[in-house]
Chain A
Amino acid sequence: MIAYYMCFGLFFVGLYGVITRRNLVKIAISLSIMEISTFLFFALIGYIDNGVAPIVNPADPDKIYVDPLPQTLVLTAIVIGLATTALLMAVIIRLYRKYKTFDIREINELRG
Protein backbone atom coordinates (compact mmCIF):
# COMPACT_ATOMS: atom_id res chain seq x y z
CA MET A 1 0.00 0.00 0.00
CA ILE A 2 2.93 2.36 0.68
CA ALA A 3 3.62 2.72 -3.05
CA TYR A 4 0.15 4.18 -3.60
CA TYR A 5 0.74 6.71 -0.83
CA MET A 6 4.13 7.71 -2.27
CA CYS A 7 2.49 8.15 -5.69
CA PHE A 8 -0.16 10.39 -4.12
CA GLY A 9 2.59 12.34 -2.37
CA LEU A 10 4.19 13.06 -5.76
CA PHE A 11 0.83 14.41 -6.94
CA PHE A 12 0.71 16.71 -3.89
CA VAL A 13 4.19 18.04 -4.61
CA GLY A 14 3.03 19.03 -8.11
CA LEU A 15 -0.15 20.65 -6.74
CA TYR A 16 1.91 22.59 -4.18
CA GLY A 17 4.14 23.86 -6.98
CA VAL A 18 1.22 24.99 -9.13
CA ILE A 19 -0.36 26.88 -6.24
CA THR A 20 2.63 28.60 -4.65
CA ARG A 21 5.00 29.40 -7.54
CA ARG A 22 4.70 32.60 -9.56
CA ASN A 23 7.05 31.61 -12.39
CA LEU A 24 5.51 30.29 -15.60
CA VAL A 25 8.27 27.73 -16.25
CA LYS A 26 7.95 26.43 -12.69
CA ILE A 27 4.19 26.07 -13.18
CA ALA A 28 4.75 24.06 -16.38
CA ILE A 29 7.22 21.80 -14.53
CA SER A 30 4.72 21.25 -11.71
CA LEU A 31 1.99 20.36 -14.18
CA SER A 32 4.21 17.74 -15.81
CA ILE A 33 5.03 16.32 -12.36
CA MET A 34 1.31 15.89 -11.63
CA GLU A 35 0.91 14.19 -15.02
CA ILE A 36 3.77 11.77 -14.27
CA SER A 37 2.26 10.78 -10.90
CA THR A 38 -0.96 9.87 -12.68
CA PHE A 39 0.93 7.67 -15.17
CA LEU A 40 2.71 5.89 -12.30
CA PHE A 41 -0.60 5.24 -10.51
CA PHE A 42 -2.11 3.67 -13.63
CA ALA A 43 0.91 1.41 -14.09
CA LEU A 44 0.75 0.40 -10.40
CA ILE A 45 -2.86 -0.77 -10.39
CA GLY A 46 -2.24 -3.15 -13.30
CA TYR A 47 0.76 -4.94 -11.79
CA ILE A 48 0.59 -8.61 -10.79
CA ASP A 49 3.18 -10.51 -8.75
CA ASN A 50 5.31 -12.87 -10.89
CA GLY A 51 3.54 -11.66 -14.00
CA VAL A 52 5.31 -11.19 -17.33
CA ALA A 53 5.04 -8.34 -19.81
CA PRO A 54 1.86 -8.66 -21.95
CA ILE A 55 3.49 -10.22 -25.03
CA VAL A 56 2.07 -13.61 -25.92
CA ASN A 57 4.46 -16.43 -26.77
CA PRO A 58 2.42 -18.85 -28.96
CA ALA A 59 4.47 -21.85 -27.80
CA ASP A 60 3.77 -21.26 -24.11
CA PRO A 61 0.42 -19.50 -23.66
CA ASP A 62 -0.39 -20.36 -20.02
CA LYS A 63 1.47 -17.61 -18.19
CA ILE A 64 0.31 -14.88 -15.86
CA TYR A 65 0.27 -11.61 -17.77
CA VAL A 66 0.28 -8.08 -16.42
CA ASP A 67 -2.97 -6.20 -17.07
CA PRO A 68 -2.64 -4.58 -20.55
CA LEU A 69 -5.55 -2.14 -20.20
CA PRO A 70 -3.95 0.53 -17.91
CA GLN A 71 -0.79 0.37 -20.02
CA THR A 72 -2.86 1.15 -23.10
CA LEU A 73 -4.48 4.15 -21.46
CA VAL A 74 -1.09 5.49 -20.33
CA LEU A 75 0.50 4.92 -23.77
CA THR A 76 -1.81 7.43 -25.45
CA ALA A 77 -1.71 9.80 -22.47
CA ILE A 78 2.09 10.12 -22.60
CA VAL A 79 2.10 11.36 -26.20
CA ILE A 80 -0.77 13.76 -25.51
CA GLY A 81 1.21 15.02 -22.50
CA LEU A 82 4.12 15.83 -24.82
CA ALA A 83 1.80 17.80 -27.12
CA THR A 84 0.21 19.79 -24.28
CA THR A 85 3.61 20.59 -22.79
CA ALA A 86 4.71 21.87 -26.20
CA LEU A 87 1.60 24.06 -26.43
CA LEU A 88 2.31 25.45 -22.93
CA MET A 89 5.93 26.17 -23.90
CA ALA A 90 4.77 28.01 -27.03
CA VAL A 91 2.48 30.25 -24.95
CA ILE A 92 5.27 30.85 -22.41
CA ILE A 93 7.92 31.84 -24.98
CA ARG A 94 5.43 34.17 -26.67
CA LEU A 95 4.60 35.84 -23.33
CA TYR A 96 8.30 36.22 -22.53
CA ARG A 97 9.00 37.97 -25.84
CA LYS A 98 6.16 40.44 -25.15
CA TYR A 99 6.66 41.21 -21.45
CA LYS A 100 10.35 40.24 -20.87
CA THR A 101 9.49 38.32 -17.71
CA PHE A 102 8.20 34.92 -16.55
CA ASP A 103 6.52 36.33 -13.42
CA ILE A 104 2.73 36.17 -13.65
CA ARG A 105 2.22 38.98 -11.12
CA GLU A 106 4.25 41.40 -13.23
CA ILE A 107 2.43 40.25 -16.37
CA ASN A 108 -0.84 41.04 -14.59
CA GLU A 109 0.37 44.55 -13.76
CA LEU A 110 1.75 45.24 -17.25
CA ARG A 111 -1.59 44.44 -18.86
CA GLY A 112 -2.45 46.14 -22.12
Chain B
Amino acid sequence: MEVAISIITGLMILGALFAIHAKDLLSAVIACGIVGYGLVICFLLLKAPDLAIVQIVVDTITLIMMVAVVLDSSREESFSRLDTFGKIAAATGLIIIVVLFYFFIIASSNLDVLGKSSLRMANAYIHGAAQKTGSANLVTGVVFDFRGYDTMGEAVVLVTAVLGVLTILRLKGKK
Protein backbone atom coordinates (compact mmCIF):
# COMPACT_ATOMS: atom_id res chain seq x y z
CA MET B 1 0.00 0.00 0.00
CA GLU B 2 2.74 2.43 0.98
CA VAL B 3 4.59 1.72 -2.29
CA ALA B 4 1.48 2.38 -4.38
CA ILE B 5 0.77 5.66 -2.58
CA SER B 6 4.39 6.74 -3.00
CA ILE B 7 4.39 6.00 -6.75
CA ILE B 8 1.17 7.97 -7.31
CA THR B 9 2.49 10.85 -5.19
CA GLY B 10 5.67 10.83 -7.27
CA LEU B 11 3.60 11.16 -10.44
CA MET B 12 1.71 14.02 -8.80
CA ILE B 13 5.02 15.76 -8.05
CA LEU B 14 6.05 15.36 -11.71
CA GLY B 15 2.74 16.86 -12.84
CA ALA B 16 3.12 19.74 -10.39
CA LEU B 17 6.66 20.49 -11.62
CA PHE B 18 5.44 20.49 -15.23
CA ALA B 19 2.53 22.76 -14.32
CA ILE B 20 4.90 25.25 -12.72
CA HIS B 21 7.40 25.24 -15.59
CA ALA B 22 5.08 25.03 -18.65
CA LYS B 23 5.37 27.79 -21.26
CA ASP B 24 1.70 27.77 -22.25
CA LEU B 25 -0.75 28.66 -19.51
CA LEU B 26 -3.43 26.29 -20.86
CA SER B 27 -1.12 23.28 -20.59
CA ALA B 28 -0.14 24.44 -17.09
CA VAL B 29 -3.80 24.45 -16.03
CA ILE B 30 -4.40 21.00 -17.52
CA ALA B 31 -1.25 19.63 -15.86
CA CYS B 32 -2.65 20.91 -12.58
CA GLY B 33 -5.48 18.44 -13.24
CA ILE B 34 -2.97 15.58 -12.97
CA VAL B 35 -2.41 16.50 -9.34
CA GLY B 36 -6.12 16.63 -8.56
CA TYR B 37 -7.04 13.35 -10.25
CA GLY B 38 -4.01 11.61 -8.70
CA LEU B 39 -5.42 12.68 -5.34
CA VAL B 40 -8.69 10.92 -6.23
CA ILE B 41 -6.84 7.61 -6.74
CA CYS B 42 -4.99 8.11 -3.45
CA PHE B 43 -8.31 8.66 -1.65
CA LEU B 44 -9.74 5.47 -3.15
CA LEU B 45 -6.68 3.48 -2.05
CA LEU B 46 -6.88 5.00 1.44
CA LYS B 47 -10.53 3.83 1.86
CA ALA B 48 -12.11 7.28 1.74
CA PRO B 49 -14.89 7.04 -0.89
CA ASP B 50 -16.68 10.18 0.35
CA LEU B 51 -13.63 12.30 -0.33
CA ALA B 52 -13.06 10.68 -3.72
CA ILE B 53 -16.59 11.54 -4.90
CA VAL B 54 -16.25 15.15 -3.79
CA GLN B 55 -12.73 15.65 -5.11
CA ILE B 56 -13.35 14.29 -8.63
CA VAL B 57 -16.23 16.75 -9.22
CA VAL B 58 -14.57 19.70 -7.49
CA ASP B 59 -11.41 19.23 -9.55
CA THR B 60 -13.40 19.22 -12.78
CA ILE B 61 -15.20 22.44 -11.86
CA THR B 62 -11.93 24.10 -10.81
CA LEU B 63 -10.48 23.13 -14.19
CA ILE B 64 -13.48 24.67 -16.00
CA MET B 65 -13.07 27.96 -14.09
CA MET B 66 -9.31 28.15 -14.66
CA VAL B 67 -9.72 27.41 -18.39
CA ALA B 68 -12.41 30.10 -18.62
CA VAL B 69 -9.98 32.62 -17.14
CA VAL B 70 -6.97 31.54 -19.22
CA LEU B 71 -8.71 31.30 -22.62
CA ASP B 72 -9.32 35.08 -22.79
CA SER B 73 -5.71 35.97 -22.34
CA SER B 74 -2.63 35.73 -24.55
CA ARG B 75 -1.72 32.48 -22.71
CA GLU B 76 2.01 33.19 -22.93
CA GLU B 77 4.27 33.32 -19.94
CA SER B 78 7.40 35.38 -20.40
CA PHE B 79 10.34 33.92 -18.57
CA SER B 80 13.10 36.30 -17.63
CA ARG B 81 16.09 36.19 -15.32
CA LEU B 82 15.49 36.95 -11.65
CA ASP B 83 16.10 40.52 -10.62
CA THR B 84 17.46 41.53 -7.21
CA PHE B 85 14.10 41.31 -5.50
CA GLY B 86 13.52 37.89 -7.02
CA LYS B 87 16.87 36.65 -5.76
CA ILE B 88 16.09 37.85 -2.24
CA ALA B 89 12.69 36.14 -2.39
CA ALA B 90 14.22 32.88 -3.60
CA ALA B 91 16.84 32.91 -0.83
CA THR B 92 14.18 33.58 1.80
CA GLY B 93 12.10 30.75 0.40
CA LEU B 94 15.07 28.38 0.59
CA ILE B 95 15.61 29.28 4.25
CA ILE B 96 11.91 28.73 4.99
CA ILE B 97 12.00 25.34 3.26
CA VAL B 98 15.07 24.22 5.26
CA VAL B 99 13.49 25.32 8.55
CA LEU B 100 10.20 23.59 7.70
CA PHE B 101 12.02 20.41 6.74
CA TYR B 102 13.91 20.42 10.06
CA PHE B 103 10.65 20.70 12.00
CA PHE B 104 9.09 18.00 9.84
CA ILE B 105 11.93 15.60 10.70
CA ILE B 106 11.40 16.29 14.41
CA ALA B 107 7.62 15.88 14.15
CA SER B 108 7.75 12.74 12.02
CA SER B 109 9.35 10.79 14.88
CA ASN B 110 6.05 11.22 16.74
CA LEU B 111 3.86 10.21 13.79
CA ASP B 112 2.46 6.71 13.62
CA VAL B 113 3.79 4.47 10.87
CA LEU B 114 1.43 4.45 7.87
CA GLY B 115 -1.26 1.86 8.43
CA LYS B 116 -0.80 1.65 12.20
CA SER B 117 -2.83 4.65 13.31
CA SER B 118 -3.45 4.51 17.05
CA LEU B 119 -6.93 6.13 16.86
CA ARG B 120 -6.47 8.18 20.01
CA MET B 121 -9.36 10.49 19.22
CA ALA B 122 -11.59 8.42 16.97
CA ASN B 123 -12.32 5.49 19.27
CA ALA B 124 -15.25 7.37 20.74
CA TYR B 125 -16.50 8.16 17.25
CA ILE B 126 -16.25 4.61 15.90
CA HIS B 127 -17.62 2.60 18.81
CA GLY B 128 -21.23 3.50 19.41
CA ALA B 129 -21.45 6.42 17.00
CA ALA B 130 -23.83 4.47 14.78
CA GLN B 131 -26.16 3.93 17.74
CA LYS B 132 -25.79 7.49 19.03
CA THR B 133 -26.50 9.24 15.74
CA GLY B 134 -28.42 6.52 13.90
CA SER B 135 -26.36 7.09 10.78
CA ALA B 136 -24.64 4.16 9.04
CA ASN B 137 -22.13 6.44 7.32
CA LEU B 138 -19.80 7.48 10.12
CA VAL B 139 -18.42 10.45 8.20
CA THR B 140 -21.90 11.99 7.87
CA GLY B 141 -22.51 11.30 11.55
CA VAL B 142 -19.35 13.12 12.56
CA VAL B 143 -19.89 16.01 10.10
CA PHE B 144 -23.42 16.90 11.15
CA ASP B 145 -23.67 15.64 14.72
CA PHE B 146 -20.40 15.66 16.66
CA ARG B 147 -18.83 18.48 14.65
CA GLY B 148 -21.89 20.49 13.66
CA TYR B 149 -20.28 23.83 14.43
CA ASP B 150 -17.53 23.03 11.95
CA THR B 151 -20.05 22.41 9.19
CA MET B 152 -22.01 25.57 9.97
CA GLY B 153 -18.77 27.57 9.77
CA GLU B 154 -18.08 25.97 6.41
CA ALA B 155 -21.52 26.97 5.12
CA VAL B 156 -20.99 30.56 6.27
CA VAL B 157 -17.53 30.69 4.64
CA LEU B 158 -19.07 29.45 1.38
CA VAL B 159 -21.72 32.19 1.46
CA THR B 160 -19.04 34.80 2.19
CA ALA B 161 -16.90 33.62 -0.72
CA VAL B 162 -19.90 33.81 -3.07
CA LEU B 163 -20.63 37.36 -1.87
CA GLY B 164 -16.99 38.25 -2.54
CA VAL B 165 -17.13 36.84 -6.07
CA LEU B 166 -20.37 38.70 -6.81
CA THR B 167 -18.88 41.95 -5.47
CA ILE B 168 -15.68 41.66 -7.47
CA LEU B 169 -17.24 40.65 -10.78
CA ARG B 170 -20.12 43.17 -10.80
CA LEU B 171 -19.55 45.86 -13.44
CA LYS B 172 -22.86 47.71 -13.35
CA GLY B 173 -25.02 48.24 -10.28
CA LYS B 174 -28.42 46.63 -10.04
CA LYS B 175 -31.47 48.82 -10.45
Contact = CB atoms under 8 A, between A and B. Distances in A.
Interface in B41-86: 42-43, 46-51, 54-55, 58, 61-62, 65-66, 69-70, 72-73, 77-78, 82-83, 86
B150 A76 contact: yes
Interface in A85-104: 85-87, 89-94, 96, 102-103
A96 B141 CA distance: 44
Interface of B: 1-2, 5-6, 9-10, 12-13, 16-17, 19-20, 25, 28-29, 32, 35-36, 39, 42-43, 46-51, 54-55, 58, 61-62, 65-66, 69-70, 72-73, 77-78, 82-83, 86, 89-90, 92-93, 96-97, 100-101, 104, 108, 111-117, 119, 121-122, 125-126, 130, 136-139, 141-143, 147, 150-151, 154, 157-158, 161-162, 164-165, 168-169
What 5 A-B pairs have minimum CB-CB distances, sorted nearest first? A83-B161, A19-B93, A49-B115, A6-B9, A54-B138
